[in-house]
Amino acid sequence: MLANRPKTKILVDGGDPSETLRMKSLIGFVDGQTTNPSLIAKNPEIQRLIASGHRLSSQEEKDEYKKIVQSISPLVGDAGVSIEVFADVGTRAEEMVAQGQEMFSWIPNAYVKYPCTHEGLRAAQMSVHKSIRVNMTLCFSQEQAAAVYAATQGSKEPVYVSPFVGRLDDRGEEGMDLVRNIKKMYERGDGHVHVLAASIRNVNQLLCSFALGAELATVPTKVLDEWAATSFPMPDQDFRYQGADASGQLLKSIPYKALDLNLPWESFDIAHELTTKGIQKFVADFQSTLRRSA
């Protein structure tokens, strides 16, 4: 078990309640959990249904998702359980909020995940006015994080923004730089947005998230297992992080930009190819579990 709890809250990145329970015994606590449509599609019960030839209706898929988060909810601490709305590139904010409102009622500690798109940001702005906690996902740029800050100003609850480290690494960019840059930019803010390091692929990235002071990190169980197997190392004063691709090639650093957090959120250039691709992948994984007519 972990003796000294890091300041960074630790969330399990997954869709299987039994794994959350296992992590809780391994680490001694779990602060929260993030889910997404791809992780829910991999849930063992859903996979069993599919293997037996059963495809789910949209309602059944939603019921399964609800059941999964209701099992996870009591296992985690105050970082809550993030539940992602089913949105494709054309989904309007009003539709996302309708889903978000329903998902928020499933459990007492829900965070609703919206994508860092124009409609996702509009949905977030509407949601915080309704006191719905939000986690802005598929964040790949500092501009998107600035827009999240501006769109959710005045939120009474902490808002999460989830920079996706591993997916930037996958295309040769230093994903941890994005976390560093957002943290630096938010130093000039009011602290209402918390940085949740996501798409973490290895223990070093977890340690770097601690070193950068990310408020939260969501971590796949495979990485938490590795961290536990090496007796929970922590970054010391000399900790230096350097990412590399699969062939050992160094990653391209992402430069810091001086952005004004007080500008209207619509003024930031939030388009990012990886956000679009991420939405498309979530839709494809979600649909792989559904009946054609669902």
- Taking the C-alpha atoms of residue 230 and residue 176, their distance in angstroms, rounded to an integer, is 22
C-alpha to C-alpha distances, 80 to 134, 206, 262, nearest whole angstrom: 11, 19, 28
Shortest separation between residue 86's beta carbon and ligand E4P, angstroms: 14
164 near ligand E4P, judged by CB under 6 A: yes
Site string for ligand E4P, 33-72 (x = CB under 6 A): -x-x------------------------------------
198 near ligand E4P, judged by CB under 6 A: yes
CA torsion sign for 94, 99, 102, 106 is negative
20 near ligand E4P, judged by CB under 6 A: no
Known catalytic residues? 113
199 near ligand E4P, judged by CB under 6 A: yes
**Pair of tokens at residue 268:** 């930031």
Looking at the chain, list the stretches that DSSP marks H as alpha helix, in order from N- to C-terminal side: 17-27, 37-41, 44-51, 58-72, 93-104, 118-129, 142-151, 165-170, 175-186, 203-212, 221-229, 273-287
Only one of the segments 159-167, 184-192, 205-213, 254-262 lies at the binding site for ligand E4P (rule: CB under 6 A); that segment is 159-167
133 near ligand E4P, judged by CB under 6 A: no
Indicate the residue among 81 and 259 with the shorter CB distance to ligand E4P: 81
Q: Which residues contact 22 (CB under 8 A, 6 or more apart)?
A: 221
- Taking the C-alpha atoms of residue 197 and residue 127, their distance in angstroms, rounded to an integer, is 22
218 near ligand E4P, judged by CB under 6 A: yes
# chain residues binding ligand E4P, by CB under 6 A:
11
Chain contacts with ligand E4P (rule: CB under 6 A): 13, 34, 36, 137, 162, 164, 166-167, 198-199, 218
